[in-house]
Amino acid sequence: MVGKLNNIYFIGLMGAGKTTIGRLIAKQLGMVFYDSDHEIERKTGVKIPLIFELEGVAGFRKRETAALEELCQLENIVMATGGGAVLLPENRELLKNNGKIVYLRASVHDLWLRTRNDKSRPLLQGGNIRQKLEQLYIERDPIYAGLADCIVDTGAQSANEITSYIEQLIKEGIDEEVVKQT
């Protein structure tokens, strides 16, 4: 696989498995893995919660777009995006025009189980985490689904099972039709 159009981008809500699955896929396919949130932290020298605190959501989104612009120019990569990266039209265009997009979809219950004790997720701090996840799911699922070349449900399967399934899809050639694993 060579070229930007062979890049693989993982989208989905926080806790869906984008970083875990992305790392495994990159290793299996001999590609380089990037996490857009980690790249933002590396460039700024601070953690994302502090960026949210100092610059707000809008400030963070600007940094996120800049990171995506840079990362989407690379070739032969697998990238896990931040959960909200797809909210801006310019970010959706960057992803769509430079690679294949895999939406890792998880139920609100699974997301809650995976994130309920994580203090590093600014959008989940304070209040009812499950309720916040439900709202994010309602708002973002249509965007993720509309953008994705492939939708993979990450319910009860292990990370290795999901990785094997996605690797098979990639080898067969992810096309514009949406493939769902139930």
User: Which DSSP symbol is given to 16?
Assistant: S
**Total domain count, the chain:** 1
Residue ranges making up the domain that contains 167: 4-181
Mean pLDDT of 116-128: 65
Question: DSSP string covering 69-123, please?
Answer: HHHTTSSSEEEEPPTTGGGSHHHHHHHHHHSEEEEEE--HHHHHHHHTT-TT-GG
How much is the pLDDT for 9? 97
How much is the pLDDT for 32? 97
CATH number at residue 16: 3.40.50.300
How much is the pLDDT for 180? 46
The reported pTM is 0.89
- Which has more pLDDT, 116 or 102? 102
How much is the pLDDT for 140? 94
- The whole-angstrom separation of Cα 180 and Cα 85 is 22
